[in-house]
Amino acid sequence: MAELQPGQSRRDDVAAVLGTPTSVGTFDPNVWYYIGQKTEKTAFFEPEVTERRVVVAHFDNNGVLREIKTLDKSNGQDIDLVERTTPTAGREMGFLEQMMGNVGRFSAKDTKGKGPGS
């Protein structure tokens, strides 16, 4: 990273030194993120992040590096994920509706182990 100089280095220089970015800014494509972390797992416990490093490169509209900074684990925040599903259009069928919906769908041939068209 010592090779990268704000105001002088360009996107190609950053890519040559650091490689392809892990992520590009969603709302600003002039921000590149390089993310790396080390974890340790003990027995059946959840993995624990022991080291995290994020390099953030900001470019101007001409592709010249404006700023490069390094963040570590102390700069991050833990986020609790929400476990829920998004409702879909329509309605859900109950068990009886599903069973009654199958009545009449199978022919006598199906029950004897032969499929349709045999």
Residue 42, pLDDT > 90, answer: no
CA geometry: angle 19, 21, 23, nearest 5 deg: 165
Distance CA 39, CA 46 (A): 10
Q: Are 59 and 32 in contact (CB under 8 A)?
A: yes
Write out pLDDT tens, residues 8-34: 999 999 999 999 999 999 999 999 999
| Sheet bearing 23-24, strands edge to edge | 23-24, 31-40, 48-59, 65-72
pLDDT digits (tens, 9 = 90+) for 51-84: 888 999 999 999 999 999 998 877 777 777 777 7
| Cβ 115 vs Cβ 109: under 8 Å | yes
The pTM for the full model equals 0.59
**Nearest to 57, CA basis, from 21, 36, 32, 28:** 32
Q: Check pLDDT > 70 for residue 118.
A: no
Mean pLDDT of the chain: 82
